[in-house]
């Protein structure tokens, strides 16, 4: 049985991706030793599924359609930044969400509920909606300073409407992950 890596996410519009990417490249030019994903791969993960049987794709999409029925489209502003696990030990640099955080958290809960019914284990960590912009390879004084300066700016990267939830396949390559849409679930339009 063929296995694929998959995750459920919210896509970002090109304008937001480009704004984030400009700042990521500033960090790179400053010399931050990190792996920086391409701007095309930016998204807000709702649930990482890991390796799944390819035959599960339709069952996952059906479960998501049932769980998200009646959920209305909502607005999100990508703004602010931070690190995991914390600023004094930056391993992952991210952009956060200012507007729409409550709605994304609700969406995450619905996705978790739907997929738990198919045997996927619930995430134990609290949900923190974010866009990963870099994975720090070497944490030194320079990395801490440049990341701290970046995080202090807390700028906005733009707003957009979340109108669908997407199931993606993650294809790992030496140049980084490539994401292929496997299907999506539309949210109800706001009238």
Q: Pick the catalytic residue from 115, 130, 131, 133.
A: 130
Rounded distance, CA 4 to CA 169, Å? 7
Rounded distance, CA 35 to CA 134, Å? 6
What secondary structure letter does DSSP report for 4? E
Rounded distance, CA 161 to CA 150, Å? 26
**Residue found by looking up tokens 């496997």 in the block:** 182
Rg (CA), the chain: 17
Nearest C-alpha neighbor of 28 from the set 132, 131, 146: 146
**86: annotated active-site residue:** no
Beta-sheet pairing, 176-186 with 3-11: unpaired
**43: annotated active-site residue:** yes
Rounded distance, CA 62 to CA 46, Å? 17
Q: Pick the catalytic residue from 20, 43, 96, 147.
A: 43
Q: List, by residue number, the catalytic residues.
A: 43, 130
């Amino acid at each position: 049985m063929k296995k694929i890596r998959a995750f459920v996410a919210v896509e970002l519009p090109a304008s937001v991706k480009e704004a984030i990417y400009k700042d990521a490249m500033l960090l790179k030019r400053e010399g931050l030793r990190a792996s920086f994903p391409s701007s095309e791969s930016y998204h807000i993960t709702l649930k990482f599924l890991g390796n799944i049987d390819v035959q599960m794709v339709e069952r996952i999409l059906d479960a998501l359609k049932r769980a998200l029925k009646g959920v209305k489209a909502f607005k999100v502003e990508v703004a602010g930044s931070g690190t995991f696990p914390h600023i004094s030990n930056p391993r992952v640099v991210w952009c956060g969400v200012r507007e729409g955080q409550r709605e994304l958290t609700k969406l995450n809960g619905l996705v978790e509920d739907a997929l738990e019914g198919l045997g996927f284990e619930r995430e134990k960590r609290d949900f923190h909606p974010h866009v990963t912009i870099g994975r720090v390879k070497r944490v030194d004084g320079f990395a801490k300073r440049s990341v701290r300066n970046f995080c202090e700016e807390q700028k906005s990267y733009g707003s957009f409407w979340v109108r669908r939830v997407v199931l993606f396949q993650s294809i790992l390559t030496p140049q980084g992950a490539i994401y292929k849409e496997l299907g999506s679930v539309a949210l109800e339009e706001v009238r």
